[in-house]
Structure 1
Amino acid sequence: MAHENRICHRAKSTLLSIRLWIGNRLFGTVGPHGVRISRHRLIKGPCESGEVAALKYVAEHTSIPVPKVLKVHNFRDALYIELEYIEGDDLNTAWRCYLSPEQKQQILAELGGYMSQLRSLEPPQTGLVASASLESCIDYRVGQQTFGPFDGHADFHSFLRGYLPVEDCTDVFGQKVTDCHVRSYRSCFAHADLCPRNIIVKDGKVAAIIDWACGGWYPEYWEYTKAHYGQCNMPDWYEGLASVIGRYDDELHAERLLWKLCDEPATPMIIARDH
């Protein structure tokens, strides 16, 4: 039986390799990790299991348009997701090139409704920071490694400070970081990479929100601050973002300090004390 399973797995891997090769030749790549394999399908990978969980969770609990998960493949010791391919342009291109002011406002209004649904979902635990599968998260704001899950925001904030004790926080990062890291927040489900390249539009409307790799439960401000990480030159997009998510200016100020001063938050910091 084990021998037959190995043969079956090898055959499936070979078939998937062929599909990816043909798809790449005929249709090309989609983003940094995807290959379109037909008019209506693409395969993305390698991925974390949390991305599959996020796509399924959002599809089940909201009306947010997301690509349908068609199949999950174990390939080359990694996870690959076969997804519905959504026709349209990414918002980054559409916003800069051809959307009218009225269409931009309509898209922002649509996104506001979708984010309201997402942020209204009840977390399974107060203060939770975790992926949609309630396991470790991935977020390029903190590096390439997975992290968490955390049972409370205090532990998550400690992680973001490189485990620097909160009593040392003001001296190292400034009062704004301390103020935000001792504040109470709701846990909200976040896309956690809500940038124009991850929003597909067609005929002046939102066709899909894609790339849920970072999706999960975070403090309520995370969606807003993460949307400014790696900020692109689209001032009117960021002006409209507050109407989509709500403003978290103190938290954005604090996060920008951390982006500058603690870009690898998993690395513990040693603070010299005077005695």
Structure 2
Amino acid sequence: MSERESIILPVSSPTNAQLKPSLSVNDTPLRRFFVLATLRLLPRILPRHGPVLMLSKDLCIKVGTLKQPAEAATMQFIAKHTSIPVPKVHCAFERKGYKYILMERVHGHILRDDWLERSIESKEKILAQIKNMVEQMRRIPPPPGQGISNVAGGPLFDGRLSGGSYHGPFDTVQDFHRHLREGYDGGKEDAPDANRLVEWHNQSCGKPVFTHGDLSTMNIIARGDEVVGIIDWETAGWWPEYWEYTSAWHVNPYNEFWREEVDKFLEPKVEELDMERVRRKFFGDF
């Protein structure tokens, strides 16, 4: 579970309509009443795990502001079009500026807890599974004319980028790149690296691919040597095809060891990583 959250709150060829899901999931009056009543009556009794309230051994509720409105829809989308293990969403709705997700409770340990103690064989098994899951996401075809957006065609959420937490949507990868550069189009003689970044950004970067956006050890749950859950889909959406790699490589201080593993489940993007370093130098994150 991502540590950024602090508020109590987890292949077929789809058609264009299937690739634009609703942000609400199974939003019936009875389910809505159950979620709201539980949060009103039992929040101090039930255990919490970070931002998630544990209802039972099988259910949990995640509640937060609407900063991640497409997370539940994304989990349903992934469950429908891949075999990636994601928490089953039973209900998701918005009310008075908050997003509520009633979902399956996944049992296991995040990789950060025991990765350094695992055997080489155990690590290889897990990394092979993660690689397969990424490949499944890459096989999801983007809708015709797809730009850079969340699963429903709306803004992407990523609090790690400068300029706020919401970004886009953007019609093209190049539009997204210009946003990352804060509109800078080159020309400064004393900034050759920034000008090189502009030239690289303006090249054809291919079609967007579906991306988790935060494949850190805090968002991968394993039970034994089996990956049983990929969680925190708040940053997921249609991103440039290199984004998964550069995002996974730029780890937080608690995940420095994960950098050594990224090339084992994602195709290395050496030039793209270099360009992302340049972007961060001149235009920063956070």
Query: TM-score, normalised on structure 1?
Result: 0.82
Deviation digits for residues 138-188 of structure 1 (CA, Å, limit 9, x no counterpart): 012214431211110110000000011145598265355234312322311
Cα distance, 1:52–1:181 mapped onto 2, change above 3 Å:
same
Q: Report what 2:264 is aligned to.
A: 243
Superposed displacement of residue 64, structure 1: 0.5
Aligned to 2:231: 210
Unaligned 5+ runs, structure 1:
1-7, 266-275
* 1:51-62 alignment, distance < 5 Å: 51-62=71-82
User: Highest Rg: 1 or 2?
Assistant: 1
Aligned residues: 254
Which SS does the other structure have where 2:133 is aligned? helix
Give the Cα separation in 1 of the matches to 2:96 and 2:132. 39
Measure, in 1, the Cα distance between the counterparts of 2:177 and 2:61: 35
Against the structure 1 CA distance between its residues 79 and 170, is the aligned structure 2 distance closer, same or farther, given a 3 Å change threshold?
farther
Matched, 1:124 2:143: yes
Q: Which residue matches 1:21?
A: 43
CA distance in 2, matches of 1:92, 1:74: 31
Residue 82 and residue 12 in structure 1: after superposition, are their counterparts in 2 closer, same or farther (change >3 A)?
A: closer
Paired AA for residue 193 in structure 1: D
* Other-structure match for 1:171: 191
- Equivalent AA in structure 2 for residue 55 of structure 1: M
Q: How big is the shift at 1:73?
A: 3.6
What secondary structure sits across from 1:95 in the alignment? helix
Of the structure 1 ranges 129-138 and 235-244, higher mean CA displacement relative to structure 2 is found in 235-244
Alpha-carbon offset, residue 62 of structure 1: 0.5
Structure 2: tracts of 5 or more residues without a match: 1-29
Could you list the per-position Cα deviations for residues 198-236 of structure 1 after superposition, in whole angstroms to 9, with x for gaps in the alignment? 000101111110000011001100000111234446566
User: In 2, are the aligned partners of 1:141 and 1:229 still within 8 Å (CA)?
Assistant: no
What letter is aligned with 1:191? H
**Cα distance between partner residues in 2 of 1:81 and 1:192:** 20
Verify the 8 A CA contact 2:213 2:248 in the aligned structure 1: yes
- CA pair 164-233 structure 1, distance change in 2 beyond 3 A: same
Change (3 A) 1:228 1:176: farther
- Once the two structures are superposed, residues 20-58 of structure 1 have per-residue CA deviations (whole angstroms, 9 ceiling, x without a partner) of 514xx3322x23x32222211111121522112211111
Counterpart residue number, 1:221:
242
8 Å CA contact 2:59–2:104 kept in 1: the answer is yes
% same residue: 30
- Measured on the aligned residues, the alpha-carbon RMSD in Å equals 2.7
Q: 2:204 aligns to what? A: 184
Alpha carbons 1:150, 1:156 under 8 Å: kept: yes
What SS does the corresponding residue of 2:128 show, helix, strand or coil? helix
Aligned residues of 2:128 and 2:265 also touching (Cα < 8 A): yes
Higher share in helix = 1
Equivalent residue number for residue 269 of structure 1: none
Contact 1:36 1:42 in 2 (8 A): yes
Aligned to 1:74: 94
- The Cα shift of 1:256 comes to 2.1
Tell me which moved more, 112-121 or 41-50.
41-50
- 1:162–1:197 distance in 2 versus 1, CA, 3 Å: same
1:261 Cα offset (Å): 2.5
CA contact (8 A) 1:161 1:258 kept: yes
Single out whichever of 163-172 and 252-261 deviates more from structure 2. 163-172
**1 CA distance for matches of 2:161 and 2:96?**
26
